[in-house]
Each structure stands twice: as C-alpha cells, then as structure tokens.
Amino acid sequence: MITSNSVADDDFIKWLTVAIKAARLPSDAVIFQITEKDASKFVRQTGEFIASLKKMHCQASIGRFGLEAKPFQLLETVQADFVKIDGSHIKTLQKPGDVITPMLTLQSMGKLSIVPMVENTAQLTAFWQCGANYIQGLPPGAPLGNGLRLQHRRSRLRPATQHLRVLNRPP
C-alpha cells in the first residue's frame, strides 16, 4: 500500500524506478495500491504518480473504494487499472442486486474489479454474475470458524466473465 506521503513526494517515484530496475523485477508483475481516501486528498499527485507507474509498465489500484462521497468521479481523473471495493460494502450487502450498478459502472470505465471478503456462495454468485474480475475470500468448501464448510456447485453459476479469479484469503 502506497501512502499519500509517498504519492506527494516527488523523489519517491524516482527512487522507485531505480529500485525496480535494480531488483530486476518484471514491472508488469507489480501492482501498487493507494486508498481512495489518500487518492482523493492528493488527486493531481496521485494522477501523476500513476502516470509515472504506467511509464514503467507497472499497474495501479485504488483500494478501499466506495467510502468517499463521489468515488467514480475520482476514477475519471486517476487512471488506475484496478479498483478494490472496500470490504465494508461486502459485509453490508442486503441482496445480490446491490452489486450490479457499481460493478457495471466499473466495467464501463474499463477498470478491473477486486472484491474482497467474500465469505459465502450467495456473495460469490452475485459478484461472479455481475462480472467481478477478481474475488478474494473463503473458497467454496473452506472450513468456517464453527466447523461448517461452504458447499458450492460450479454448475449453479452462470459464468458471466472469463476474467474471474478466485483467490484464497491469506492465513
């Protein structure tokens, strides 16, 4: 996670460029994330920082997305590749239809979506069907805290996207 202090520091991107080259990292394998809150505080600097990352063939993500008053307005200015939805939105979902509009908006803007904290098959199904690109959380069949296991039959899901990845939550 890149902080607002790093984004606002003109020397940081210079140092980062040298560090990535010195480490011989494939730059397209690196994704830098800044929170929506920090990006909103420093919109111009965040835009310049992300433009510099793109020149190095690195990618950028806006994390904890959806907490600010006008989140999609930020994405028009700051050209991030990925958007990671804030986990609080996932926990407060009342019905699967609640996710459709924001996901379609992200898709129309050409942003790849990351949905964290998916912990049941209803959530997994809802995000899969509305085109989430990456899903993080408990995989189907993973043990829950009370010893239960989620049961998931792939045949129940209609694959709405070819880009879906299901990632395990780190231990």
Cβ neighbours around 4 below 10 Å, total? 17
Mark whether 75 and 106 lie in a shared domain.
no
Q: Pick the residue with more confidence: 144 or 125?
A: 125
Q: Are 117 and 91 in contact (CB under 8 A)?
A: yes
Q: What is the pLDDT of residue 96?
A: 60
Q: How many residues does the chain have?
A: 171
The region that residue 52 occupies, defined by phi over 0 for left and psi between -120 and 50 for alpha, beta otherwise, is alpha
Confidence tier at 139 by pLDDT (50, 70, 90): low
d(CA 21, CA 26): 9
Domain end residue (candidates: 66, 81, 96): 81
Q: What is the pLDDT of residue 66?
A: 92
Mark whether 128 and 97 lie in a shared domain.
yes
d(CA 64, CA 122): 22
Total number of domains constituting the chain: 2
Mark whether 10 and 39 lie in a shared domain.
yes
What DSSP element (H or E) covers 115? Answer: strand 112-118
CB neighbour list of residue 155: distance below 8 Å, 6 or more residues apart: none
Share of the chain above pLDDT 70, in %: 78
Structure tokens at 45: 């600097």
Mark whether 40 and 97 lie in a shared domain.
no
Mark whether 95 and 121 lie in a shared domain.
yes
d(CA 30, CA 28): 6
> In which domain, by residue range, is 39 found?
1-81
Token pair 């990456």 in the structure block, residue: 134
Q: What is the pLDDT of residue 51?
A: 96
Mean predicted confidence (pLDDT) in 31-43 = 96
Mark whether 165 and 149 lie in a shared domain.
yes
Mark whether 12 and 36 lie in a shared domain.
yes
Cβ burial, residue 146 (10 Å; 0-12/13-18/19+): exposed
Mark whether 99 and 65 lie in a shared domain.
no
Q: What is the pLDDT of residue 148?
A: 45
Mark whether 45 and 96 lie in a shared domain.
no
Mark whether 147 and 99 lie in a shared domain.
yes
Mean predicted confidence (pLDDT) in 76-87 = 94
Mark whether 42 and 119 lie in a shared domain.
no
Q: What is the pLDDT of residue 145?
A: 55
